Chain A
Amino acid sequence: EAQVTQNPRYLITVTGKKLTVTCSQNMNHEYMSWYRQDPGLGLRQIYYSMNVEVTDKGDVPEGYKVSRKEKRNFPLILESPSPNQTSLYFCASSLGQVGRAEAFFGQGTRLTVV
């Protein structure tokens, strides 16, 4: 089954404690990205990757890091989380070709930073 898998689905952590949210896709997609969802703001892109070892900032990259060492994996790293990073996070992937527009989303990760 074609899917994007995020882990964990729920996470409560303390300010400053490094954490990683994993994302893996089994569709051989080239393009992957991370979004955060906040009430009244919709979803906003944090970082994206067009292929292995190619990453770039989205609209709200401050406080986040990513890596793309393998095509299927795109982890999101918060090296020193702060309460303003409490949010719902989504990983998404797509084929990376014109005309193949659909993005597939993971199940979401609810992060609370206290």
Chain B
Amino acid sequence: AQTVTQSQPEMSVQEAETVTLSCTYDTSESDYYLFWYKQPPSRQMILVIRQEAYKQQNATENRFSVNFQKAAKSFSLKISDSQLGDAAMYFCAYRSAYFGNEKLTFGTGTRLTIIP
């Protein structure tokens, strides 16, 4: 079974600074997807960024980028130029790439606070 670990329950960053959230995972599969989801106080689950395991290039979405280290099974999220609207709970998640197995395995989350 796959597991996802987020070792930072809480983090804080000054507005406009950069912060990195950590995520490690364990799997025996070779093909999979990794995601970062954002959950603001509204509780909505918002997809921030995704990474396909077969791609060596790290995914980027505007101010959000990942550092994907497949051999180390590490998938960290970097938020640049932090904004007040980035304050939320962030979840790292894993999904197999094999047909029929679309279960998401989530980490326990990191609560990010933005300091004005």
Contacts and interface: CB of A to CB of B under 8 A. Distances in A.
A88 B45 CA distance: 12
B106 A42 contact: yes
A108 B97 CA distance: 26
A90 interface: yes
Contacts of B6: 42
A96 B109 contact: no
Contacts, number: 58
Given A98-B97, A108-B43, A103 B102 contact: yes
Interface string A44-58: 110010100000001
Nearest to A94: B102
Contact of B95 (A42, A101, A105): A101
Contacts of A41: 108
Nearest to A93: B102
Contact of A33 (B45, B99, B102, B109): B102
A102 interface: yes
Given A40-B108, A41-B108, A101-B33, A31 B43 contact: no
Interface residues of A, number: 27
B95 A43 contact: no
A11 B19 CA distance: 36
Nearest to A40: B108
Interface of A: 31, 33, 35, 40-45, 48, 50, 58, 88, 90, 92, 94, 96-99, 101-103, 105, 107-108, 110
19 contacts: A42-B91, A42-B106, A42-B107, A42-B109, A43-B93, A43-B104, A44-B106, A50-B100, A96-B100, A98-B97, A98-B98, A101-B33, A101-B35, A102-B47, A103-B95, A105-B44, A107-B43, A108-B44, A108-B45
